[in-house]
Amino acid sequence: MKNGYQSIAAMCLFALMTATSSAEDVQKSPPMPMKGMGMGMHHGMGGMMAGMTEEQKDKHMSSMQEHMLKMHDLSNQILAEKDPAKKEALKKQQLQLMKSHHAEMMESHQQMPMK
């Protein structure tokens, strides 16, 4: 019985050391680059907005805020809706909003001068 407890204690200690070692490895590794992320919410606002005036920046940020508010409002409606048909209609509406926003963003990025 004593050997059984010693074996279990040794395995627990080994598991603890392995988990701690893995956690340290994760903390030490550099962050992965966001390759292929598109422009979404992960774009560098400084680079994209570098050539803009303060008024243009404010207008752009206000537009982004308005889009986010619409998306959140639809999300809340979807989550609250009990009728599956109405829920699906709201989801389609949100998807259309996402598609139109994406199209607008792609159009505005194509109009940007290349450096």
Q: What percent of the chain has pLDDT over 90?
A: 43
pLDDT > 50? residue 41: no
d(CA 14, CA 90) in angstroms, rounded, equals: 51
d(CA 55, CA 61) in angstroms, rounded, equals: 10
| Confidence category of residue 35, pLDDT binned at 50, 70, 90 | very low
pLDDT > 70? residue 11: no
Q: What is the pTM of this model?
A: 0.53
pLDDT > 60? residue 4: yes
Record the tokens describing residue 105, joined without a space: 């963003």
Find out whether 74 and 93 touch, Cβ atoms under 8 Å. Answer: yes
Q: Name the residue ranges covered by the structural domains of the chain.
A: 53-115
pLDDT > 70? residue 23: no
Across 40-58, average pLDDT:
72
